[in-house]
Chain A
């Protein structure tokens, strides 16, 4: 059962990473316009990031 010593922290860290990523994406405004994003993905015009 010694393997648990690695597995549990790894599992928790991976879950925590997901949580942190979600919180970051929320903070950076990625959920502010879900309807718009679903259209923007189809737009094949200029898609370089804005300066």
Chain B
């Protein structure tokens, strides 16, 4: 498509509009170069869900001569395709890949490539866990022999072998804990890893000392199996966050990767967005998003700004209008002049606002760390007291040291280290099944603290998609005619009309769309027009924009005479009313902060019974509103989707965004929900609260365990066998308790589970 003359662009894009595939140039830009003239493209294919999908898709792709390898990853819902840059001397058009995927019946889109380093930390953790598991099993084998009676030289030999296995294991597998403990201490803080690191190293040192002096008691098994258990918790935690992150990055990118630049000699060039400089002339075809802040030079169109400013109605653009990056060009092609580079554009401004607003989240201390702050000093003082007591009153300082270290080993927060991550992993898995992605565990902790829920309007409480409201007042014949016309346009009001009435795409053969005005077509009855009142009734030649404040409308006329007026309203998200009711009964305060006009916001607030609302807010205004609320001691959950919501999402105590949100909005949010229904909000709160309760229960269990076993250690009865049994049982009890989250008692939304995830590509 890059080689076409300017005039044909709009026609070609009309075809593309129906399929909504990423353009050739963007695909080429997003692919990675491999050796030997090969390129690799990763595409998200949200529709694959079973073995048959894998086979169909791989077969379809491998049938292409350009494709060398294709492999579907079902877990991440992605397909990796390796293709040749040239086939028989011709440069490959990568859009054949997306077309083949579409022909096989799946939807595909590009996604922001997630950093590979995340994968390497995950694999690093799994490797550390595997090594610790191997060491723990072998050492336990030797320890069992010691406990069952090996003595003298045999016991010493077993201890030495254990020491030889445990030493390297602690160094290799213990690194995550040592580095984290070191970082915490360096910043003068305390976290759960400090007592863990201390206990495993001390127990190793003492056991080594015992071994060298032919002692009977060595704790190698305890120290390594402790490490193993903790690594399991840590790995699960990491995998959970990884899965959420990859699911979120698999959602379609809404901001364009590049822009079509018109070169001075009249040609087209598709350039990476970072290479667009102010002053460049750009072409924005219908269906494309505005890449950078710019001014329209020629052309007329309408722009959907719902994701930029919260404005729910399309805004007309003509020569001279200034456009902000992110808006969606709806009806006609525009030639524009770039006013700012991508890094200085509107979105970049928003990101700097976001960074300034970030505060509450960064300051939040994880519950485990807060517990460690009390727990670690208490344990260390206890061990010191035991050492002094046995030294002073017992006289044997070596024995006193042994007891002090036994106390440290017994109190080592094995169960405490698992208490939080296991519960959060189970809870995140529970939410994942209902299409809610949790970015990290602390988000769930923060969600349990909130008392105020603030919503954005466009795209959050509503779908940002208009719906026909006066279907009954219009004759069926007029509706059919309008729907048939509407099928030829991508304007949101047309899409709503096409949805409402049974249109026939073949009824009109010659349909022309007048950007910024409407569509017209003739048949034997006369000339039909659908669009602005002025255009349809032929009153004024130019579409003068929306004048009716009551709500969006579109007019159908036949030969300039009024046939019907269609009225629309923004469609509310499913379960919005139910959510408000349930939030109210649970005592949460609710509010709406919107960038849209006052009338629309007030009407929606009234319908949902929300008393507090603000309209026509700028992104900064939203942040300020949230700061005011927070300053009064409230903890805010912000639910929003637009680019203009991103700073507010960052400023709130915790935040949620739908999958249809803008790229920055999804980045800023702690939770992202895939389904259309708003009940995700109450489900997330419910699950987080239950998880919070289970975490407290787990803490209680871990403390109860300490109350039982610490006296044994203090009295000097904590043999390695007792320590091993005590630690494993407490860990198992804590994990078993966390599993209760998946059992009964949870309100399940059957509808939400069956509903197919909506993707931004469809909804935008």
A binds B: yes
> B74 touching A11 by the CB < 8 A rule?
no
Which of A15, A16, A26, A33 is within 8 Å of B73, CB to CB?
A: A33
Chain B residues whose CB sits within 8 angstroms of the CB of A8 once the complex forms? 161
Question: B321 interface residue, CB < 8 Å from A?
Answer: no
Q: Which residues of B have CB within 8 Å of A22?
A: 130
B126: nearest residue on chain A (CB-CB)? A26
Task: Tell me whether B249 is interfacial, beta carbon within 8 Å.
Answer: no
User: Which residue of B50, B54, B134 contacts A15 across the interface (Cβ within 8 Å)?
Assistant: B134
Least distance between A20 CB and chain B CB atoms (Å): 10
| In the complex with contacts A1-B154, A8-B161, A35-B75, A16-B134 CB distance below 8 A | yes
Query: Most chain-B CB neighbours within 10 Å: which of A4, A35, A42?
Result: A35
User: Which size class do B's interface residues fall under?
Assistant: 20 to 34
Q: Nearest Cβ in chain B — how far from A27, in angstroms?
A: 8
Binary CB contact string for chain A from 8 to 39 against chain B (1 if under 8 A, 0 otherwise): 10011001101100110011000111111001
List of A residues within 8 angstroms of B131 by Cβ: 19
- In the assembled complex, the Cα of A15 lies from the Cα of B165 at a distance in Å of 12
CB distance from B430 to the nearest CB of A (A): 18
B72: chain A residues within 8 A (beta carbon): 36
B50→A34 contact, CB < 8 A: no
A42 pairs with B138, CB closer than 8 A: no
Instruction: Report how far A32 CA is from B42 CA in the complex, Å.
Output: 15
How many residues in A have their beta carbons less than 8 Å from beta carbons of B? 25
Do the beta carbons of B51 and A43 come within 8 Å of each other? Answer: yes
Determine if A23 and B137 form an interchain contact, defined as CB atoms under 8 angstroms apart: no
User: A45 → chain B, closest Cβ, in Å?
Assistant: 6
Best-buried of B72, B134, B141 by chain A (most CB within 10 Å): B134
Pair A35/B74 contact, Cβ less than 8 Å: yes
Which residues from chain B contact A34 at a C-beta distance below 8 Å? 75
For A45, what are the chain B residues with a Cβ–Cβ distance below 8 Å? 55
- Nearest CB of chain A from residue B319's CB, rounded to whole Å: 52
What distance in Å separates the Cβ of B84 from its nearest Cβ neighbour in chain A?
15
In the complex, B628 has a CB within 8 A of chain A: no
Q: Which residue of B lies closest to A37 (CB)?
A: B74
- Residues on the A chain within 8 Å of B554, using CB: none
**Interface SS of chain B:** helix
Per the bound structure, the CA–CA distance linking A4 and B131 in Å amounts to 24
| Proximity bits, B119-140, A CB within 8 Å = 1, else 0 | 0000100110011001001100
Give, as a whole number of angstroms, the nearest-CB distance from B56 to chain A: 11
Contact status A39-B51, CB under 8 Å: yes
A50 to chain B: which residues have CB within 8 Å? 69
Q: How far is the CB of A9 from chain B (nearest CB, A)?
A: 10
Closest residue of chain A to B157, judged by CB? Answer: A4
**By the criterion CB–CB under 8 Å, are B134 and A32 in contact?**
no
Q: Are B138 and A43 in contact (CB under 8 A)?
A: no
What residue of chain B has the Cβ atom nearest to residue A22's Cβ?
A: B130
Closest residue of chain A to B72 (Cβ to Cβ) is: A36
B76 touches A26 (CB 8 A): no
Whether B130 pairs with A11 at a CB distance below 8 angstroms is: no
Which residues of chain B from 55 to 98 have any CB-CB distance to chain A below 8 Å in the complex? 55, 69, 72-76
- Whose C-beta in chain B lies nearest to the C-beta of A18? B134
* Given the contacts A36-B54, A39-B54, A19 and B154 also touching, CB distance less than 8 Å: no
A33 touches B127 (CB 8 A): no
- Complex Cα distance, B130 from A51, in Å, reads 31
Rounded to whole angstroms, the CA-CA distance of A4 and B490 in the bound complex is 79
Question: How far apart are B133's CB and chain A's nearest CB, in angstroms?
Answer: 8
Which chain A residue lies CB-closest to B53?
A39
CB distance from B129 to the nearest CB of A (A): 10
Those 6 A-B pairs whose CB atoms lie nearest each other, nearest first: A39-B51, A36-B74, A19-B134, A33-B73, A35-B75, A35-B74
- Not counting A4-B154, A35-B75, a sample of 6 additional A-B residue pairs whose C-beta atoms are within 8 angstroms of each other reads A12-B138, A22-B130, A33-B73, A36-B73, A39-B74, A43-B55
The interface of chain A, by Cβ under 8 A from chain B, is 1, 4, 8, 11-12, 15-16, 18-19, 22-23, 26-27, 31-36, 39-40, 42-43, 45, 50
Q: List 17 A-B contacts (CB under 8 A).
A: A11-B138, A11-B141, A15-B138, A26-B126, A33-B73, A33-B74, A34-B75, A35-B74, A35-B75, A36-B54, A36-B73, A36-B74, A39-B50, A39-B74, A40-B54, A42-B51, A45-B55
